[in-house]
Amino acid sequence: MGFKAWYDAHVMPRMIRCACSAPGIMDRRASVVPLASGRVFELGCGGGINQAFYDTDRVTAFAGIDPSPKLLDYAREQARTKGWDADIRQGFGEDIPFGDERFDTVVCTYTLCSVDDPARVLAELRRVLVPGGTLLFLEHGHSPDAGVARWQQRIEPMWKPMMGGCHLTRPIGPAVRAAGFSVEPIGSGYMPRMPRWASWMEWGAAVRA
């Protein structure tokens, strides 16, 4: 196994879980994830961090996909801890292995930054949602402040290979709207105690128009 394969298999999943569990991020998850209800699909469910926040009185079925075997191990362990019957599969958001209009809620947190093709993934998320279904999103991305955005552009080439292909400069709200969702209102802001180039976040409940 070469260094990159070893790093991606063993180091990067731990770094991702650690970075994605910062206190400000956990607070924000706690305001978004419990809104999920009915049949729920989580994109990029690896790591399993969100599972603690789902309200099992509201969720009737849970499915999730992620491409990373190591992060999927964490997600399956979380499902065992939670004691619920979760359908967790390996897969990519660009080609979601579920039929059309299968879910009432789709949850997507800190994943659009890492996928290869965000527009295609958002189209897939729309496809698997019932009409009127909700996409709950919480993502980091392109800062509206020019100075911060310049730092994001400078740091991104070093950050991406260390963090599993995570981009710092992707727009969030505009991408969600362009995919055929209505998003009102959208929450946004920098997370406390994090560098501004990594902590511009946008979140909301987007309805499949």
Q: Which residues bind ligand SAM (CB under 6 A)?
A: 16, 20, 43-44, 46-47, 49-50, 66-68, 71, 92-94, 109-111, 114-116, 164, 166
Query: Do residues 68 and 11 lie in contact, with contact meaning Cβ atoms separated by under 8 Å?
Result: no
* Nearest-approach distance from CB 26 to ligand SAM, in angstroms: 10
Distance (Å, whole) CA 20 – CA 75: 14
Distance (Å, whole) CA 119 – CA 111: 13
Q: Which is nearer to ligand SAM, 50 or 152 (CB)?
A: 50
Q: Which is nearer to ligand SAM, 26 or 209 (CB)?
A: 26
Phi, psi of 202 (to 5 degrees): -135, 140
* Nearest-approach distance from CB 75 to ligand SAM, in angstroms: 8
* Nearest-approach distance from CB 104 to ligand SAM, in angstroms: 19
Distance (Å, whole) CA 44 – CA 107: 9
Q: Which is nearer to ligand SAM, 51 or 134 (CB)?
A: 51
Distance (Å, whole) CA 165 – CA 167: 6
Q: Which is nearer to ligand SAM, 147 or 161 (CB)?
A: 161
Query: Do residues 193 and 22 lie in contact, with contact meaning Cβ atoms separated by under 8 Å?
Result: yes
Q: Which is nearer to ligand SAM, 64 or 133 (CB)?
A: 64
* Nearest-approach distance from CB 208 to ligand SAM, in angstroms: 19
* Nearest-approach distance from CB 17 to ligand SAM, in angstroms: 7
DSSP result, 23-88 = HHHHHHHHHHGGG--EEEEEET-TT-GGGGG--TTTEEEEEEEES-HHHHHHHHHHHHHHT--EEE
Distance (Å, whole) CA 76 – CA 54: 15
